[in-house]
Amino acid sequence: MNSDIKTLFDSNKGFLQKTDLPDRKSYLYLLKMVETGEVERVKRGLFCFAGTMSNVMIDTDKIVPNGVLCMYSAWFHYKLTTQIPQSYCIAIEKNRKVVLPEYPPINLYYWQQKYYELGIVRQKIEEYTVNIYDLEKSVCDAVKYRTKIGIDVSSEILRNYLKRRDRNISKLIDYAKNMRIEKILKTYLDIQL
C-alpha cells in the first residue's frame, strides 16, 4: 500500500474522500486498491479500509453530512431499550436528498426543521464524534412515534428513562411542548410514576 495514502487514511480515522487526495495519480492508485479489495468504496467519492465498516459505530458525518443519530440508534446508545438496531437510524431535514451507500444499512428519517434541530448534541461514540439527539429528545421521539414503534417499546423507553439518575423531567416536558405531545407524555408519566 502506498504510504502516503495509508497516512491519509490514518489521519481520517480509516475513511478517505476523493478530495483528500493530493493528485490524480493517488486517486488512480486508490481505485486499484478498491479492485484488489484492500479498500472499500462506501459511496461515490468516499472510501474506507476493508473491514472498517464492521465497527459498531460509523462516521455518520462522512456518510450522511449533518445527519443525526435518532430513534433506535439513540435509544440503544442511551440504554433505554434492549432492542439492537438492525440499521443506523439517522434524521435529516425534510426535503433533503442524500445518496446512501449499500452498506452499512441506514434508515433515514425526514423531519421538519423545528423537530430536526431540537436537542442535537455532539458525542464521542467509540472513536467518532457524531451528532445524536440528547436523552430527553430521544424519549420524546419514542412517545411521538409510539404507534409506529409499538406502545410496549415506547413504554420500555420511558420506564428506563425514569430509572436514570441523570434524567431531567423539566427538559423532557419542554421538548414535549415543542413537539406537541405534552398531554400524551403527561398521561404516560402519570401511569409510570
166 phi, psi to nearest 5 deg: -90, 15
Q: Are residues 106 and 183 in the same domain?
A: yes
Domain of 184? 60-192
> Residue 37 gets which letter from DSSP?
T
Residue 120 has pLDDT above 80, yes or no: yes
Residue 54 has pLDDT above 60, yes or no: no
Q: What is the pTM of this model?
A: 0.71
Q: Are residues 172 and 122 in the same domain?
A: yes
CA distance 104 to 129: 18
Q: If DSSP codes are grouped into helix, strand and coil, which group holds residue 163? A: helix
- Asked if 64 and 40 sit in the same domain, the reply is no
pLDDT tens for residues 149-189? 998 899 999 999 999 999 999 999 999 999 999 999 998 88
Q: Given pLDDT bands bounded at 50, 70 and 90, which one contains residue 57?
A: low
Least confident of 11-25, 53-67, 109-123: 53-67
| Pair (70, 162) in one structural domain | yes
Same domain, 32 and 125: no
Instruction: Give the chain's domain count.
Output: 2
pLDDT range class, residue 127, cuts 50, 70, 90: confident
The last residue of one of the domains, among 54, 77, 92, is 54
Instruction: Give φ, ψ of 164 to 5 degrees.
Output: -75, 145
12, pLDDT greater than 70: yes
Both 115 and 20 in one domain: the answer is no
- CB of 5 within 8 A of CB of 15? no
User: 23 with 94, same domain?
Assistant: no
Grid cell digits, residue 104: 452499512
| 21 plus 110 within the same structural domain | no
Cα(34)–Cα(82) distance, integer angstroms = 37
Mean pLDDT over each residue of the chain, to the nearest integer: 85
Quote the pLDDT of residue 6: 79
**What's the CA gap between 143 and 180, in Å, rounded?**
11
89 and 8 co-located in one domain: no
pLDDT band at 145 (very low <50, low <70, confident <90, very high): very high
Percentage with pLDDT > 70 across the chain: 91
Q: Based on the fold, state whether residues 32 and 92 are members of the same structural domain.
A: no
- The yes-or-no verdict on residue 193 having pLDDT over 70 is no
pLDDT of res. 123: 92
Q: Name 191's Cβ contacts closer than 8 Å, sequence gap at least 6.
A: none
